[in-house]
Amino acid sequence: ETGVTQTPRHLVMGMTNKKSLKCEQHLGHNAMYWYKQSAKKPLELMFVYNFKEQTENNSVPSRFSPECPNSSHLFLHLHTLQPEDSALYLCASSVREVGEETQYFGPGTRLLVL
């Protein structure tokens, strides 16, 4: 049990669909992250939220829209995706302070865009 849960675990969607990924952390952390993991590429940091405020957006296309209603929940809203967006989407959380950089990951959502 990592303390970070993600739903759904698998998702298949068409390019015109709208769907949302959910992440929840039970660790009392104050920072949450979305990563994209594609084959043969390093993990790509997408978004960072610190105390519910977005602090990083690494040039992510607008078809990905994050939402962080509180420090325990993080969503990634998806619309009009492309087949190249198929990947494993990982959520992580951490305590955001110097000396406490460890991030704890959820199991991921495997997304396939048709």
Residues near other proteins, by CB under 8 A: 2, 4, 6, 31, 40-43, 45, 48, 55-56, 90, 92, 94, 96-108
Nearer to other proteins, 64 or 93 (CB): 93
Nearer to other proteins, 76 or 90 (CB): 90
Nearer to other proteins, 83 or 99 (CB): 99
Least distance between other proteins and beta carbon 74 (Å): 14
Least distance between other proteins and beta carbon 107 (Å): 4
Least distance between other proteins and beta carbon 68 (Å): 15
Hey, what are 10's tokens? Answer: 């698998």
**Which amino acid is present at 58?**
N
Nearer to other proteins, 41 or 70 (CB): 41
Q: CA 101 → CA 24, 57, 60, 94, distances in Å?
A: 19, 19, 23, 7
Torsion of CA 37, 41, 42, 45, to 10 degrees: -50
- The distance from CA 62 to its chain's CA centroid, rounded to whole angstroms, is 14
| Three-state DSSP class for residue 31 | strand
Least distance between other proteins and beta carbon 92 (Å): 8
Q: CA 11 → CA 8, 51, 92, distances in Å?
A: 7, 28, 19
